[in-house]
Amino acid sequence: MSPAPPVASRDRLRIAIQKSGRLAEPARALLASCGLSWRESRDRLFCYGETLPVDLLLVRDDDIPGLIADGVCDLGVVGRNVLLEQDGDRRGAGKPAAFRELRALGFGGCRLMVAVPDGWSWDGPAQLAGKRIATSYPALTAQWLARNGVDAQVVLLSGSVEIAPKLGQADVVCDLVSSGATLAANQLKPVETLLQSEAVLAGPVGEFDDVRGELADLLLRRLDGALRIKHSKLLMFQASRELLPSLLPLLPDAEAPTVMRIDGEDGLALQALCHGAVTWQRLEDLKRAGARGLMVLPVEGMLA
Ligand code: ATP
Ligand code: ZN
């Protein structure tokens, strides 16, 4: 294949996301939480950005790295597993890197794992020497085998990898695992983790040299804010000044709290952004330590 063509200049940013599947809805929801909204085309493959010049292209997840490499899209939301597999594939073919991970997005979590038949006792990768490994991730599997100095045969399957041992196509599998239920249903057990994956925002290796650079920076700043507050809550309460030293240790996950004096009283009002779970238990602990008027508020947006 010839090298990627030079990226045509554009005055709108184009983001590829999965059309349907595990990453489709969370990707849209995350981008919407960054203040983006779209008008959908009739064929539902393209969404025209309304609040900002940021459009969506709805595609199969496997196509996303290639669309970035070819400059058809500027950014994409895709599993790290797909991104690294295709990067490994390009490197194997002597092509230069053409995309990279810009941010981990905190959803679509799974692991790429080697799984062996339930009956096997496992004592390490060397056990795979001369065996057949069924996988949809040949580059990542080959890299891992090479790292471990194991000579095994990689059998490429595009789907239903987990039934390959039963069908006699392979001895073991290397596949994505989240709960492990699919493996268990096929009498397989996971033994080695090759990759910890989640959905990521991917982009080209170079920088944009037109207005897309500013749009991408704006989006990344909003994304960082959105990711930071995803599980955060604003906690507010009042307390007597002398109780502060016993209350602050109960807020280990809070950013430096804002402490305000209440006019004409000895009390203080506190406001703290907590990044961990604010449970009932925690509120009760704070109350016991002297906090009054405890209030927990959702955080809608944040710009550091
Ligand atoms: P498409 O039609 O877009 O090609 P697909 O069938 O390849 O869809 P999905 O099954 O929706 O894709 O998976 C998309 C991504 O979700 C995977 O690449 C992976 O990053 C992530 N994922 C999270 N958990 C799992 C899991 N248990 N099995 C497979 N993928 C998972
Ligand atoms: Zn796919």
pLDDT for the residue 8: 62
Same domain (yes/no): 148, 284:
no
In this model, does residue 2 exceed pLDDT 70?
Answer: no
Judged on CB neighbours under 10 Å (0-12, 13-18, 19+), 43 is exposed
In this model, does residue 56 exceed pLDDT 80?
Answer: yes
**Is 140 inside any structural domain?**
yes
Structure pTM?
0.87
Task: Pick from 83, 110, 194 the residue to mutate for probing ligand 1's pocket: most ligand atoms within 8 Å of its CB.
Answer: 110
- How far is the CA of 35 from the CAs of 38, 54, 121, 170, in angstroms? 10, 11, 52, 48
Mean pLDDT over 282-295 rounds to 96
Tell me how far the alpha carbon of residue 154 lies from the centroid of ligand 2, in angstroms. Answer: 20
**Is 2 inside any structural domain?**
no
pLDDT for the residue 25: 97
Same domain (yes/no): 184, 217:
no
Which structure tokens are listed for 226? 């959105």
In this model, does residue 32 exceed pLDDT 90?
Answer: yes
pLDDT for the residue 44: 83
**Is 7 inside any structural domain?**
no
Q: Which is nearest to 195 in space by CA: 262, 272, 126, 104?
A: 104
CATH of the domain at 237: 3.30.70.120
In this model, does residue 221 exceed pLDDT 90?
Answer: yes
Same domain (yes/no): 153, 23:
no
- Mean pLDDT, rounded, of the chain: 93
Mean pLDDT over 16-42 rounds to 94
- Owning domain of residue 158: 110-196
Interval 174-190: pLDDT, tens: 999 999 999 999 999 99
**Is 255 inside any structural domain?**
yes
**Is 156 inside any structural domain?**
yes
Which structure tokens are listed for 22? 């595990």
CATH of the domain at 181: 3.40.190.10
Tell me how far the alpha carbon of residue 140 lies from the centroid of ligand 1, in angstroms. Answer: 16
Interval 3-17: pLDDT, tens: 444 556 789 999 999
Tell me how far the alpha carbon of residue 21 lies from the centroid of ligand 1, in angstroms. Answer: 7
**Is 76 inside any structural domain?**
yes
CA–CA separation, 15 vs 102, rounded Å? 13
